[in-house]
Chain A
Amino acid sequence: MNAYNFAYLDEQTKRMIRRAILKGLAVPGYQVPFASREMPMPYGWGTGGVQVSAAILTPEDRFKVIDQGADDTTNAVSIRKFFERTAGVAVTERTIEASVIQTRHRIPETPLRADQILVYQVPIPEPLRFLEPRETETRKMHSLQEYGLMHVKLYEDISRHGAIATSYAYPVRVAGRYVMDPSPIPKFDNPKLESEAIQLFGAGREQRIYAVPPHTRVVSLDFEDHPFEPTKAEHDCDLCGAADSYLDEVIIDDAGGRMFVCSDADFCRGRREAGQSGAKAGALS
């Protein structure tokens, strides 16, 4: 792979992306347009996150990639391999060992530290997109802080269903200013958006980068009488017994039998290695 620069992108492109990242950090939650490049993986498969990672990785970094919370899902494997090949960086599956973590759809259960960066892959960066399809309109709404439409949508949910019917990509307000799409993480993860780590969001196809700096206030939108509620399956992990981690539901037999396991594979393995176990741990391994 000597024909390519470190981490694939040329240095000028990385500079352009870093400028967008710095602008994003300076204006938390604001979507910075950037001249997204065509990457050798498809749009919609993490090209925004990959470009952000390519721009921030250094040879000393230790890189972790998760998709749905797991390191061994196929697209996470593919992206990790890409950077092993083009940047030769060290990789890890352990959250605590990683300096840069690229993620799709989850925030790791283990709290992140100040020396870590979390890079999100974002499909649709615009939280108002499904209320207003036009970019020209939504940009105007952000600049005027005209977020009434979003509150009306949430209110309509309550009047129709008795609850806010958004379970992932739940909108947040960042530093009291911009309403932001946290990417399609389950709303269970929203409280973790207030973090010591730098959080960067890359949307390749939509050509946007945004950021949440460390210790920034991130509030999930709600109403006084219908406060925000992070939810998960009402079970403990069947492998490690954790009661406080987000769970995947797995169908285990033809009769539709289920088990619940941690979505964060590293978190679950760590607990089991420390001797914790869940209801079905013995039956399976």
Chain B
Amino acid sequence: MYVAVKGGERAIDNAHAWLAEERRGDRAVAELSPEQIREQLGLAVNRVMAEGSLFDPDLAALAIKQARGDLIEAVFLIRAYRTTLPRFGATDPVDTGAMACDRRISATFKDAPGGQVLGPTFDYTHRLLDFKLAAEGEVPEAPMAEPRREATPHITDFLNNEDIIEREPVSDATPGDLTRVPMAFPAGRDIRLQSLARGDEGFLLGMAYSTQRGYARNHAFVGELRIGRVPVEMEIPELGFAIEIGEIELTECETVNQFKGSKTEPPQFTRGYGLVFGQSERKAIAVALVDRALRWEELGEDNQGAPAQDAEFVLSHADNIQATGFLEHIKLPHYVDFQSELELVRKLRAEAGASATLADREAAE
């Protein structure tokens, strides 16, 4: 018939079948299991959990498999699944001070109680392709040390004791929940940090980088970066006390930023903060830098008109599921609107042509 999209239903079914076949790839090659993805592509799993706002490594691994490795598509699967989960309560705030740290570094002090622990980092690897990995090969076991028994104190606490860094206001208020209440501006820091924590890593990296290059520069030191597992506790009303319901892996970044002081405040350091699911170091640092840039108003700094200072701009565009959906929707048919534009442009051109002809004739006379 006359419209190319006729038969849409069969076309969709066939497209899905083809997609499934492409996902599987060459059947002569062994199929990937979600367990392999969870264990061997852990950083991809972490990113999907962080941006999907759901801590579940098995589901994230399954989503990565289903999405053929497209991590934003995998985040989308997790978000859509998350929507359907019943919500039966909120946990107590996690205590990152009690974290069993796999990694803990500070760029501001050479050494501090708890020490500098590099942990499993790419930082000092030489980025040389390791062709041995192309062949199968077991890795030798890493050397072991006695784990630290006592809690590792936060570096910023040492600065706090000296009163040389701004104090975080203590509050027992229930933080907002941007998955249950629509975003409104101005947004409080609780909502901003939530939005950044699930925001797109690439977008936040670019935003944070722009502050380093002078668009609202706030000169951040990494006061501390820690990665490890923390217990998650929940008050059970029937019991009257909190019980541990599990453990999650987190990356926390606290930056220490310059602040020259204002009319009312003497010079002191200020803070940026990032907290992200899993080992997601780049993201946590980026969140801390953007968080700090967004705080210009409460710290009495100038609005330099930089993108990273503009909460409405940053928070409205950080979510990759919103962004990718709207970006890609322009693939959908728009021929009704295009038709009305066609009519309009033709009409305007006809009118312009008619008046030009008239002007020519008048000039000739």
Contacts and interface: CB of A to CB of B under 8 A. Distances in A.
B107 interface: no
Interface string B154-196: 0000000000000000000000000111111110000000000
A39 B77 CA distance: 9
Given A74-B12, A135-B185, A161-B348, A38 B321 contact: yes
Interface of B: 1-3, 5-9, 11-12, 76, 79-80, 82-84, 86, 179-186, 312, 316, 321-322, 324-329, 332-337, 339-344, 347-348, 351
Given A134-B312, A165-B344, A168-B337, A39 B8 contact: no
A69 B333 CA distance: 11
Nearest to A250: B2
B326 A44 contact: yes
A186 B8 CA distance: 23
Most chain A CB neighbours (cut-off 10 Å) among B79, B82, B340:
B340
Contact of A42 (B12, B76, B337): B76
Contact of B2 (A33, A47, A261): A261
A57 B60 CA distance: 32
Interface in A96-120: 104-106
Most chain B CB neighbours (cut-off 10 Å) among A34, A42, A136:
A42
A13 B100 CA distance: 38
B9 A188 contact: no
A69 to B, nearest CB: 6
A39 B83 CA distance: 7
Contacts of B79: 38
A33 B326 contact: no
Interface string A110-150: 00000000000001000000000011100000000000000
Interface stretch (A21-29, A194-202, A213-221, A241-249): A241-249
Interface of A: 3-4, 8, 10, 33-40, 42-45, 47, 67-70, 72-78, 81, 104-106, 123, 134-136, 161-163, 165, 167-169, 184-188, 205, 207, 231-233, 239, 246-250, 252, 259, 261, 263, 284-285
Contacts of A184: 334, 336-337
B340 A284 contact: no
Given A135-B316, A161-B348, 6 more contacts: A68-B335, A76-B8, A168-B340, A169-B337, A184-B334, A285-B1
B322 A205 contact: yes
Nearest to A43: B325
Nearest 8 CB-CB pairings of A with B: A43-B325, A44-B329, A42-B325, A167-B340, A44-B326, A207-B182, A186-B340, A33-B182
A135 B312 contact: yes
Nearest to A47: B325
B336 A106 contact: yes
Contacts of A81: 9
A7 to B, nearest CB: 12
Nearest to B52: A38
A121 B229 CA distance: 43
Nearest to B327: A44
A231 B336 CA distance: 12
Contacts of A38: 79-80, 82-83, 321
Contacts of B12: 74, 77-78
Nearest to B312: A134
A167 B312 contact: no
B190 to A, nearest CB: 16
A224 B329 CA distance: 37
A4 B81 CA distance: 11
B7 A73 contact: no
17 contacts: A33-B184, A37-B83, A42-B329, A44-B325, A44-B327, A45-B325, A70-B3, A72-B7, A75-B332, A165-B344, A186-B336, A187-B340, A188-B340, A205-B322, A207-B183, A250-B3, A284-B2
A261 B333 CA distance: 16
A43 B322 CA distance: 6
A6 B364 CA distance: 74
B303 to A, nearest CB: 14
Contacts of B337: 105, 167-169, 184, 186
A250 B2 CA distance: 8
B99 to A, nearest CB: 30
Given A44-B325, A135-B312, A186-B337, A252 B11 contact: no
B84 A10 contact: yes
A263 B336 contact: yes
Nearest to A106: B336
A249 B342 contact: yes
A233 B325 contact: no
A35 B326 CA distance: 18
A163 B328 contact: no
Contacts of B84: 3-4, 8, 10
A91 B83 CA distance: 26
Nearest to A186: B340
Contacts of A167: 337, 340-341, 343-344
B203 to A, nearest CB: 15
A263 B5 CA distance: 13
